[in-house]
Amino acid sequence: MRKRSIVGRLFLITLAMGLTFTSLIPAIAEGTVTTEAAPIGPDETKPISTYCDPNFYACDGYVASSPEQFLPPWAPGFRNVQGYYHNDLSSLYRFPSYAISIDRDSTGQATAVVACSDIASSACNGQEVYVNAILPLCSKNVIIDCIRDITIADASNKPLTYSIEGEFPAVTPQSFKGSASLKVPNGAAPTLIRIPGAPHNGGDTYLVKAQLTAQKRVADGQTEFMLESMSISITAVKIIDGKHGFGGVSTDPKLYLKGFTSIGSESGYPASCAIASLTQCAARYSLPMDLRYGLTVDLSRKITGWLHGRIKGPKVDVSVNSIGGNTITVSAEPIKIPVNAVWVDNATAPQSIKSFYEGKPNYGSPLFGNTNKSKPLSEIALLRDANFGHNQETLDEFLSWLPSLGDRAQALPTAWSLQTMSNYEVADEVRKCLNQTDSLAGIVTTNAAEYLDGPPVYDKSSEALDYKVAATHYESDGITVFKGTYDLVMSSKVARCIYGFTDAPVSATVSISSESGVQNVATTVVGEKGGWLSLGAYNFTYSSPTIRVVLKGTVAQPAQVVAQKKSATSKIICVRGKVIKKVSGSSCPKGFRKGA
């Protein structure tokens, strides 16, 4: 199993969340940020609400203007409580572009952290270099690693026009110049567009983002930048004036603890903002659900493996461009995804929660300045919010909290996003087929709260592809049943390799069974076109069903070696005087004649 990297994800340390009751003093100069902190402990004689941070929690009767602006509830106690917060939107925009260079001492502690303005400069040549590059629009000056096209179509497939408002934020202190020779793109900012024909509750503005993350680590023997991830997203926003801090990557070496490869952070704007400048916030709003959104990106590298995301009915096209990289076009409908948040008293917490965390180190965001997560849970208040990614561990964690969630979502925001998979294990039968292609193998998308972001698990005994998903049974009102969506778009070449099929047409069946094994009624769609096999399952119900895909086709028969029959050899009688011979063939030896 490949070690999972969380480079480019939000590293939810306590300081990043602004919950250690420190005085954060960002100093932005020449692309660097420093932080001075003076710890202040809470006075427990005061109401606990006194310490609620309105940037990150629902304080003082906060009511979200949209499901996308949902904030989790504040802690119910100073200690002996733990919470769970699961929100995919949290990681979509948190960091603008950055290129950060780190040097460490022999113990692994960072000694120097530099935010680079030019990836090719000598100042950006540390032992570790991490890159988060938000791609600009393609232009006369930028012809690769850029957004080539944006499309929006209504329910009748009629294209909608849009205008480009520019990058937002217009100024990002950690933007940087890339390098074509290093295959590192320029670090820009998301693109703000206006779609008059697609109004939402906050107006008609949208943020469009395509992002690449890469790293180079000398300790790992890396001499060139390794592509870590790619992601694309479209978000409905409203630009609101206000005063905000800088949101970006910290250059304080103390935040880069030995042994950690995660990125530290500076956080200065509310979590309800997709992203912000010092004077404006791009507040999230719901995407219109009756539109189909699309992006085309030109990349200098090839994207291989699998993508996963929060879209419905995806159509994909991947081609090799003029410089040998990929041009990727994706169009799809948005979906609604569950957000879950709850606190429990450790003394009365369900056994499923206690069992899941037993033997595991505490992780997440400790509150009230108590940064010592090694203390017993009875002495701290801890929010389990560092659950980005979708793997078996996060799926099991979600299921352990399910009894405490009341089997309903706390919010149901919209989403349109797609990204490369962070970490997955596959059966040998699947891996050998993935290794035979240097292109995109497939896309998996669902509206489940939790799922495995790798390709479906291959069940050799049943020759089926199984896919596990999980979510609360009801929407946020606790009454409406939350209906599931699942789409699998797989390269026909990869599918045929897994099953050993010929080039004859492939068909498939999709079935959904509940955790008790009962068949779950659903609408399924199957088709093959343009080298892609598309399968969709919709309107099934949660909590944790299993989706099973069985492909059917003509199995390639092994070539049979046909033994050639030896031709019967004719014999003739040859005579010379009194000597008579039987000779194989049609003529007699010299001096002999054919006899009767």
DSSP secondary structure of 158-195: -B---EEEEESSS--TT-BB-BTTTTB--B--PEEEE-
Is residue 569 very low, low, confident or very high in pLDDT (cuts 50, 70, 90)? Answer: low
Give Cα 495 to chain centroid, integer Å.
Answer: 22
Q: Give the integer Cα–Cα distance in Å for 249 and 175.
A: 11
**Worst-scoring range by mean pLDDT, 88-102, 250-264, 399-413, 555-569?**
555-569
User: Which pLDDT does position 547 carry in this prediction?
Assistant: 87
pLDDT in tens, 449-465: 999 887 777 777 777 88
C-alpha separations of 87 from 74, 90, 510 in Å: 16, 6, 28
Whether residue 363 has pLDDT greater than 90 = no
Give the Cβ contact number of residue 332 at 10 Å. 25
Q: Give the integer Cα–Cα distance in Å for 345 and 378.
A: 9
Is residue 370 very low, low, confident or very high in pLDDT (cuts 50, 70, 90)? Answer: low
Q: 200-204, long-range: CB within 8 Å, 24+ apart, which pairs? A: 200/236, 200/285, 200/286, 200/287, 200/288, 201/65, 201/66, 201/285, 201/286, 202/65, 202/66, 202/236, 202/237, 202/238, 202/283, 202/285, 203/238, 203/285
User: Which pLDDT does position 16 carry in this prediction?
Assistant: 30
User: Which pLDDT does position 579 carry in this prediction?
Assistant: 55
pLDDT in tens, 17-32: 333 222 222 333 333 3
User: In terms of pTM, does the model score above 0.75?
Assistant: yes
Q: Give the integer Cα–Cα distance in Å for 434 and 213.
A: 22
Q: Which residue has the higher pLDDT, 500 or 414?
A: 414
pLDDT in tens, 34-47: 344 444 568 889 99
Position 169 in a domain: no
Block residue for tokens 């906060």: 62
Whether residue 520 has pLDDT greater than 80 = no
Q: Which residue has the higher pLDDT, 110 or 465?
A: 110
Q: Which two tokens stand for residue 181?
A: 């020779």
Position 199 in a domain: no
Peptide bond into 169 cis (omega under 30): yes
pLDDT in tens, 300-313: 999 888 889 999 99
Q: Which two tokens stand for residue 156?
A: 């009748």
CATH number, domain of 539, equals: 2.60.40
Position 71 in a domain: no
Position 454 in a domain: yes
pLDDT in tens, 112-133: 999 999 999 999 999 999 999 9
Q: 116-120, long-range: CB within 8 Å, 24+ apart, which pairs? A: 116/31, 116/176, 117/30, 117/31, 117/176, 117/177, 118/176, 118/177, 119/176, 119/177, 119/178, 119/179, 119/182, 119/184, 120/177, 120/179, 120/181, 120/182
Q: What percent of the chain has pLDDT over 90?
A: 49
Q: Give the integer Cα–Cα distance in Å for 304 and 228.
A: 11
Q: Which two tokens stand for residue 419?
A: 């990204």
Is residue 9 very low, low, confident or very high in pLDDT (cuts 50, 70, 90)? Answer: very low
Q: Which amino acid is at 178?
A: G
Over residues 249-277, the mean pLDDT reads: 79
Q: Which residue has the higher pLDDT, 388 or 185?
A: 185
Torsion from C-alpha of 144, 246, 415, 303, nearest 10 degrees: 30
User: Which pLDDT does position 440 carry in this prediction?
Assistant: 85
Whether residue 289 has pLDDT greater than 60 = yes
Position 495 in a domain: yes
Torsion over CA: 223, 224, 226, 231 (sign): positive
pLDDT in tens, 49-71: 999 999 889 998 899 999 999 99
Q: Which residue has the higher pLDDT, 375 or 583?
A: 375
Domain total in the chain:
1
**Worst-scoring range by mean pLDDT, 5-9, 237-241, 560-564?**
5-9
Is residue 589 very low, low, confident or very high in pLDDT (cuts 50, 70, 90)? Answer: low
Q: Which residue has the higher pLDDT, 436 or 171?
A: 171
Position 487 in a domain: yes
User: Which pLDDT does position 250 carry in this prediction?
Assistant: 87
Over residues 14-18, the mean pLDDT reads: 29
* Ranges assigned E (strand) in 51-141: 81-86, 98-104, 110-115, 128-134
Position 524 in a domain: yes
Give the Cβ contact number of residue 548 at 10 Å. 18
Q: Give the integer Cα–Cα distance in Å for 259 and 404.
A: 34
Which residues make beta-bridge pairs with 150? 295
User: Which pLDDT does position 381 carry in this prediction?
Assistant: 93
Whether residue 142 has pLDDT greater than 80 = yes
pLDDT in tens, 84-107: 999 988 877 767 899 999 999 998
User: Which pLDDT does position 7 carry in this prediction?
Assistant: 31
Block residue for tokens 């009194």: 578
User: Which pLDDT does position 267 carry in this prediction?
Assistant: 60
Is residue 330 very low, low, confident or very high in pLDDT (cuts 50, 70, 90)? Answer: very high
User: Which pLDDT does position 12 carry in this prediction?
Assistant: 30
Computed over every residue of the chain, the mean pLDDT equals 83
Over residues 353-359, the mean pLDDT reads: 95
Position 481 in a domain: yes
pLDDT in tens, 175-205: 999 999 999 999 999 999 999 999 999 999 9
Domain boundaries, position 474: 424-552
Q: Which of 25, 178, 169 is nearest to 116 (CA)?
A: 178
